[in-house]
Copies of this chain bind each other. A is one copy, B any other.
């Protein structure tokens, strides 16, 4: 048995969205090529481990859990260790390459190349998830801003509840 590349950990399936289509992974200007330079320009280093993670990320779309990324890196290089992956993800987050959030179950989810700020919707019934556009969350943002001076970070938002199919409608 090889390192089976388990992709969906049974609790965070994120299939196609029924009403809100997901962004088709535009790969805008392929920032992957410039990354080594950007990294070095910051005094950071371009290592084989980082290259592998970047390759994995460049093939990913939507949300990926940390564990999934570790698994995929391990498929590319069995000697991969989790701590390196997570630390590299931290670095990449500072560079704006990924953005992390916490799913409804508290697990970390990474979003690759955040095209636009968006939150997540998670159904407690069927465990599907969808994206919330900034438009939709705008009202909440405005209320918090106006009444509390609180600047919401949409990308970190996960709203749980029940979708139409699972009894969302009365």
Contacts and interface: CB of A to CB of B under 8 A. Distances in A.
Contact of A139 (B104, B139, B164): B139
Contacts of A159: 140, 144, 150, 152-153, 156-157
Nearest to A163: B150
Interface in A122-170: 123-124, 130, 132, 136-137, 139-140, 142-145, 147-153, 156-164, 167-169
Contacts of A147: 19, 136
A151 B140 contact: no
Contact of A168 (B108, B136, B151): B151
A: interface residue count bin? 35 or more
Contacts of A157: 157, 159-160
Nearest to A165: B149
A143 B139 contact: yes
B151 A162 contact: yes
13 contacts: A19-B147, A106-B108, A136-B140, A144-B159, A144-B161, A148-B164, A149-B168, A149-B169, A150-B162, A151-B167, A156-B161, A157-B160, A158-B158
